[in-house]
């Protein structure tokens, strides 16, 4: 796979684009599939690099995971035990590999999970995940870069999360689904991907209530039965194409979306002056001549998503005035700033706050994708920039965006 994207800016995007299945839901559902007996079939799973890595981890654990001709993916765990240790070489490629902790404990009562890698967007501790699995009866040790967990006497329990961590909520939910008794997660994450995981587990026979609120109750069951399930659309991919329409001053219908998942993004985009309309087919976005500055604070759902912060920064770097962006979820999500500055943006960072002073024009340059969403933001800036932009390390972008070159090309962008 090529590792750079070359974009010639200045062409308004027009037409329709279809959003793929959600990366973050797809990844956790792939992991959760190992807890079921029989063949799980997942529809709407995006063919992106993170998913391919996850499939390799599943195969390495002895789970048969393979793509079908209709684009779905089948996951068949073996009749007996699966391997309980995830490989370092594969796990370092994506953070979501830490989700095997809850799934393996649910299935095998034992997990040896490599401390994860993934996007370099700040320290990503596991303390809340560990607090949760310990409460449900696991003994945990951390040695040589691995978390060793074993459950001798699993029992449901109450777990209060100090922060509504998405991954910790998912790990605890998966383990609790097969842990005898009632478990309760207080201050749980409320992201749509959490709801999708609960719906998926419930479709297999789990008993989970309250997902999507901050109190999730889980009655453990002995057995989960495999079935077929379609993953929700990716709200972050949708948001990225919505900003692509706005920043290129185009007119794009973003199809296959769940509008309520997009409300925080729609609200902010409208404040910048873009015209956003919900239609039966999706969300239509028309860019305005002038971009108004707006202030953004990232927060857990339903607040403004941290995964859309960089893309919004790209848009605001072309606003008529100054915007303030406060990043409350990850401490290292401003690496994009130096790259945007290479394109002519005027941004100052002080701790968790960035002040974006809008400029009239961005200029094409050689830049580097430092993480997935920073890469997406560079694509957006390049669409609006004068001249040609070469984005190196585009592999970060391919981790999370299915066929991004083709989708943008179809909308009229000049991408190679």
- Among all residues, which ones are annotated catalytic? 119
Q: How far is the CB of 27 from ligand UD1 (least distance, A)?
A: 5
Convert the chain into a string of H (helix), E (strand) and C (coil): CCCEEEEECCCCCEEEEECCECHHHHHHHHHHHHHCECCEEEECCCCCHHHHHHHHHHHHCCCEEEECCCCCEEEECCCCCCCCECCHHHHCCCHHHHHHHHHHHHHHCEEEEECCCCCCCCCCCCHHHHHHHHHCCEEEEEECCEEEEEECCCCCCEEECCCCCHHHHHHHHHHHHCCCCEEEEECCCCCHHHHHHHHHHHHCCCEEECECECEEEEECCCCCECCEEECCECHHHHHHHHHHHHHCCCEEEEECCCHHHHHHHHHHHHHCCCEEEECCCEEEEECCCCCCCCCEEECCCCCECHHHHHHHHHHHCCCCCEEEEECCCCCCCCCHHHHHHHCCCEEEEECCEEEEECCCCCECCEEECCCHHHHHHHHHHHHHCECEEEEECCHHHHCCCCCHHHHHHHCCCEEC
Measured between alpha carbons, how far is 382 from 364 in angstroms, rounded to an integer?
6
Residues that bind ligand UD1 (CB under 6 A): 24, 27, 95-96, 123-129, 163, 165-168, 189, 193, 306-307, 329-330
Q: How far is the CB of 332 from ligand UD1 (least distance, A)?
A: 10
Measured between alpha carbons, how far is 173 from 183 in angstroms, rounded to an integer?
9
Of residues 248 and 311, the one with the C-beta less far from ligand UD1: 311
Measured between alpha carbons, how far is 5 from 28 in angstroms, rounded to an integer?
29
Of residues 124 and 292, the one with the C-beta less far from ligand UD1: 124
Q: How far is the CB of 286 from ligand UD1 (least distance, A)?
A: 28
Nearest residue by C-beta to ligand UD1? 167
Q: How far is the CB of 387 from ligand UD1 (least distance, A)?
A: 32
Q: How far is the CB of 302 from ligand UD1 (least distance, A)?
A: 12
Of residues 35 and 166, the one with the C-beta less far from ligand UD1: 166
Beta bridge partners of 159: 185
Q: How far is the CB of 117 from ligand UD1 (least distance, A)?
A: 11
Token duo for residue 412? 């009229």
Q: How far is the CB of 366 from ligand UD1 (least distance, A)?
A: 27
Of residues 101 and 345, the one with the C-beta less far from ligand UD1: 101
Of residues 310 and 381, the one with the C-beta less far from ligand UD1: 310
């Amino acid at each position: 796979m090529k590792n750079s994207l070359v974009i010639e800016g200045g062409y308004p995007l027009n037409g329709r684009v279809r959003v793929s299945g959600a990366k973050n839901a797809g990844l956790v559902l792939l992991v959760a599939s190992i807890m079921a007996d029989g063949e799980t079939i997942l529809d709407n799973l995006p063919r992106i690099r993170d998913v391919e890595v996850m499939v390799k981890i599943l195969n390495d654990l002895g789970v048969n995971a393979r793509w079908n001709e209709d684009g779905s993916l089948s996951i068949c765990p073996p009749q007996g035990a699966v391997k309980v240790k995830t490989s370092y070489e594969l796990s370092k490629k994506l953070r979501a590999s830490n989700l095997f902790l809850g799934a393996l404990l649910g299935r095998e009562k034992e997990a040896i999970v490599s401390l994860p890698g993934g996007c370099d967007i700040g320290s990503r501790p596991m303390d809340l995940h560990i607090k949760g699995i310990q409460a449900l009866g696991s003994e945990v040790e951390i040695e040589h870069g691995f978390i060793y967990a074993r459950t001798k006497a699993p029992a449901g329990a109450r777990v209060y999360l100090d922060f509504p961590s998405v991954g910790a909520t998912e790990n605890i939910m998966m383990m609790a689904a097969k842990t005898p008794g009632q478990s309760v997660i207080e201050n749980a994450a409320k992201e749509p991907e959490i709801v999708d995981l609960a719906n998926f587990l419930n479709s297999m026979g789990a008993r989970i209530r309250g997902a999507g609120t901050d109190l999730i109750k889980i009655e453990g069951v002995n057995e989960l039965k495999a079935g077929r399930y379609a993953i929700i659309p990716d709200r972050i991919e949708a948001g990225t194409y919505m900003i692509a329409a706005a920043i290129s001053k185009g007119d794009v219908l973003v199809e296959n979306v769940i509008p309520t998942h997009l409300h925080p993004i729609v609200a902010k985009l409208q404040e910048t002056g873009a015209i956003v309309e919900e239609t039966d087919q999706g969300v239509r976005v028309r860019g305005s001549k002038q971009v108004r500055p707006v202030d953004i604070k990232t927060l857990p759902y339903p607040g403004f998503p941290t995964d859309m912060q960089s893309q919004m920064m790209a848009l605001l770097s072309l606003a008529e005035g100054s915007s303030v962006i406060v990043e409350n979820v990850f401490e290292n999500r401003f690496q994009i700033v130096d790259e945007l500055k290479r394109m002519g943006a005027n941004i100052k960072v002080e701790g968790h706050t960035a002040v974006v002073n809008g400029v009239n024009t961005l200029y094409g340059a050689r830049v580097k994708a430092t993480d997935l969403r920073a890469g997406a933001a560079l694509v957006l800036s390049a669409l609006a920039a004068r001249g040609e932009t070469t984005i190196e390390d585009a592999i970060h972008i391919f981790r999370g965006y299915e066929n991004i070159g083709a989708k943008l090309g179809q909308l009229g962008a000049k991408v190679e």
